[in-house]
Chain A
Amino acid sequence: MSTNVIRCSRGEQTFSVINIVLLALLMLITAYPLLYVVFASLSDPSSIVAYRGALLKPLGLTMDAYTRVLQNPMIAIGYRNTVFYVVAGTALNITLTCLGAYALSRQNVMFKRPIMLLIIFTLFFNGGLIPTYLLVGQTLHMADTVWALIVPTAINTINLIILKTAFESVPVSLEEAARIDGANDFTILFRVVLPLSLPALSVVVLFYAVAHWNAYFQALIYIQSRDLYPLQLVLREILITSNVESMTTSVSSGDRFEIGQTIKYATIVVATLPILLIYPFLQRYFVKGALLGAIKE
């Protein structure tokens, strides 16, 4: 909403209508694959295997795939662990990223450029899997602990830069006014900059949280104990063991095997559903300027 005053010009009305139509169309084509996945997950496997074309409803409604997935005892463990990784991980992420972004967004800091270059350099050049593995696993003894999933990925440079850009757009005048009032950098960060950057902050929180939610590679490399498996790893395992593509089977087991086809879809739904529910909560931070007025000098 760019203005509270409603404009009634013809041009703008047509635009509104076209806008709505366009977006509705976009909704349809982006919604379709998810619908496909949901329908397929509720379908009878042999019908799905033989089916071609657009799927508009479940074929032979059955909850088999979901029972298979959700009955797995590791699912509860996976969810529990992932929630922990998301919360703890994002907390660490945000703390460090805020500190770093703030520090990089201030002017008149002599070593800012070298530090920034140092950080950006790591976007392009890295040592690869094996040295990192040796570092985390052997030097730091983090292998098979929760730390391996949280600390090595403590800061995402892109997110850092995004937040820095957002912090830079806080008016300098506000910072100067706060300094006159005797505030130090920490105070400015918490009282001035952060509240004014809530939309960007929420986005960065969202990015980190989703990254943790979807993460599996770190766990794949570092985690041996099944007790620490995140959800994605559990789902991956369920998928691999029920998808007997690489296995040879005999006839009598026909239906046990087929179900692998629909389990693939059920795991996607199980993994994605919680995310769908989170976004509405974050959306309220995107309401523009709600808090800005309160902080006007």
Chain B
Amino acid sequence: MSSSARTIPFRRAPAASLARGSLRARIVADLRRNRYIYLMHAPVIAYYVIFHYGPMYGAIIAFKDYSPAQGILGSPWIGLQNFQDFFGSVYIVRLIRNTLAINVLDILFGFPAPIILALLLNELTTPHFKRWVQTITYLPHFMSLVVVVGIMIDFLARDGLINNLLRIGGIQSTAFMQNASWYWILYVGSSIWQSVGWGSIIFLAAIANVDPSLYEAAVVDGANRWRQMWHVTLPGIMPMIITLLILRIGMMMSVGYEKTILMYNPSTYDTADVISSYVYRKGVLGMDYGFSAAVGLFNSVINFAFLFAANRLSRRANQMTLW
């Protein structure tokens, strides 16, 4: 067991020690003690206020019948009409279900993948090979979606490479890209393939940050590589894992439209059509910024709720919280 002087970092609830004295006195003391910290905060907060909160009034487009010429403030209000349009769609359930399903699958399989890769890479003893693997595996991240999906379509066609191989093996050919049951697997699978290498970088960095003396101590205690990984490495990178997991859960309602548009077709709408692709199609039918803003707002609210819940869970379970 590791017995190190170094604490595994976690956020404690604000100390009760601050409770002394009146509120005003405490604030003054805090400002004095942490003056440089607030100084550091200043430009950062300024940035967010100017560039993120400044334009935030634009979010009211969701409740308006927006016309660029009339401007955001000048366009007429239509209240919840946009939301009604969205929820009134016969497909609303399917859209939400698909969006959630893809994200759940992506979290279940796609989130651990880079972690596992990082751990495996960490176990390599030849630095040369390790460097090659790292460099090559992160390349797909840079391939444009158009190229990647184009290759997929080509390989998965009824007379494409994959089916040809299957036929050699005596298996009948399947029209993968037209089969709604395959869609989620293909979507998530190709996402994992494209992001596992790049995603492992951050975990490699986190692994590199683990105090080597912990390993030495573990070895002294008789731990083999497995136990070291389990008792030293993993706990060491757990804060990063938890943080990124919480953030990932905060994207539960977001599935990009670009890849969906490239991959889907009417025979897979059942499982492929997500909120963003649906909104995109509507946007092409008739420019309606208000509608997409409304759906975006809905997505954001749900996402935020997920994040909140995940963060609270994390705080209860292991005292790790984003804020």
- Direct A–B contact in complex, judged by CB atoms less than 8 Å apart: yes
Chain A interface (Cβ < 8 Å from any Cβ of B): 1-3, 5-7, 9, 12, 15-16, 19-20, 22-24, 26-27, 29-31, 33-34, 36-37, 52-54, 96, 99-100, 102-103, 106-113, 115-128, 130-132, 134-135, 151-152, 154-155, 158, 161-162, 165-166, 168-169, 171-173, 184-186, 189, 196-197, 199-200, 202-203, 206, 214, 264-265, 268, 271-272, 275-276, 279-280, 283, 285-289, 292-293
- In the complex, are the beta carbons of B209 and A99 less than 8 A apart? no
- Given A12-B224, A165-B240, 7 further pairs, Cβ under 8 A: A103-B41, A120-B307, A121-B304, A122-B53, A135-B51, A152-B51, A200-B209
Do A33 and B140 contact each other (CB < 8 Å), given the known contacts A120-B323, A185-B36, A203-B205?
Answer: yes
What string of 1s and 0s marks CB contacts (under 8 Å) between B22-51 and chain A?
000011001001101110110111011011
A78 CA to B297 CA, complexed, in Å = 36
Cβ < 8 Å to A, chain B residues 29-86? 30, 33-34, 36-38, 40-41, 43-45, 47-48, 50-59, 61, 68, 72
Whether B182 sits at the interface, judged by CB under 8 Å, is no
- In the complex, are the beta carbons of B206 and A199 less than 8 A apart? yes
Q: Which residues of A lie under 8 Å from residue B208 when comparing CB positions?
A: 199, 285-289
Q: Which residues of B lie under 8 Å from residue A115 when comparing CB positions?
A: 41, 45
- In the complex, are the beta carbons of B243 and A202 less than 8 A apart? no
Q: Which residues of A lie under 8 Å from residue B138 when comparing CB positions?
A: 30, 279
A135 CA to B135 CA, complexed, in Å = 40
- In the complex, are the beta carbons of B240 and A166 less than 8 A apart? yes
Q: In the complex, what's the smallest C-beta–C-beta distance from B322 to chain A, in angstroms?
A: 7
Give chain B's interface secondary structure class.
helix
What string of 1s and 0s marks CB contacts (under 8 Å) between B153-185 and chain A?
011010111001000000000000000000000
A135 CA to B6 CA, complexed, in Å = 47
- In the complex, are the beta carbons of B133 and A125 less than 8 A apart? no
Q: In the complex, what's the smallest C-beta–C-beta distance from B167 to chain A, in angstroms?
A: 13
Q: Name the CB-closest residue of B to A116.
A: B323
- In the complex, are the beta carbons of A27 and B27 less than 8 A apart? no
Q: Which residues of A lie under 8 Å from residue B323 when comparing CB positions?
A: 112-113, 116-117, 120
Residue from B40, B144, B205, B307 whose CB has the most chain A CB atoms within 10 Å: B205
Do A292 and B123 contact each other (CB < 8 Å), given the known contacts A102-B40, A272-B142?
Answer: no
Q: Which residues of B lie under 8 Å from residue A169 when comparing CB positions?
A: 9, 209, 239
- In the complex, are the beta carbons of B137 and A27 less than 8 A apart? yes
Q: In the complex, what's the smallest C-beta–C-beta distance from A51 to chain B, in angstroms?
A: 9
Whether B233 sits at the interface, judged by CB under 8 Å, is yes
CB-contact partner of B322 in A116, A199, A285, under 8 A? A116
- In the complex, are the beta carbons of B131 and A280 less than 8 A apart? yes
Do A27 and B154 contact each other (CB < 8 Å), given the known contacts A125-B59, A199-B205, A292-B212?
Answer: no
- In the complex, are the beta carbons of A120 and B322 less than 8 A apart? yes
Q: Number of contacts between A and B (CB, 8 Å)?
A: 285
A-B pairs, 7 with minimum CB distance: A127-B58, A131-B58, A127-B55, A131-B55, A199-B205, A116-B323, A185-B36
A285 CA to B120 CA, complexed, in Å = 19
CB-contact partner of B139 in A34, A125, A161, under 8 A? A34
Interface residues on B, range: 35 or more
A78 CA to B55 CA, complexed, in Å = 30
CB-contact partner of B160 in A15, A52, A119, under 8 A? A52
- In the complex, are the beta carbons of A7 and B225 less than 8 A apart? yes
A261 CA to B124 CA, complexed, in Å = 40
Q: Which residues of A lie under 8 Å from residue B59 when comparing CB positions?
A: 125-128
**A-B residue pairs in contact (CB < 8 Å), sample of 12:** A3-B228, A27-B137, A53-B154, A103-B37, A106-B34, A108-B34, A118-B45, A126-B52, A130-B61, A172-B7, A268-B143, A279-B134
Q: In the complex, what's the smallest C-beta–C-beta distance from B289 to chain A, in angstroms?
A: 7
A53 CA to B161 CA, complexed, in Å = 5
What string of 1s and 0s marks CB contacts (under 8 Å) between B201-236 and chain A?
110111111111001100100001100110011000
Q: Which residues of B lie under 8 Å from residue A280 when comparing CB positions?
A: 131, 135
- In the complex, are the beta carbons of A103 and B58 less than 8 A apart? no
CB-contact partner of B151 in A15, A22, A36, A286, under 8 A? A36
Q: In the complex, what's the smallest C-beta–C-beta distance from A41 to chain B, in angstroms?
A: 11
Q: In the complex, what's the smallest C-beta–C-beta distance from B78 to chain A, in angstroms?
A: 17
Do A2 and B124 contact each other (CB < 8 Å), given the known contacts A33-B143, A125-B56?
Answer: no
Q: In the complex, what's the smallest C-beta–C-beta distance from B295 to chain A, in angstroms?
A: 12
Q: Which residues of B lie under 8 Å from residue A125 when comparing CB positions?
A: 56, 59, 297, 300, 304
Whether B284 sits at the interface, judged by CB under 8 Å, is no
Whether B89 sits at the interface, judged by CB under 8 Å, is no
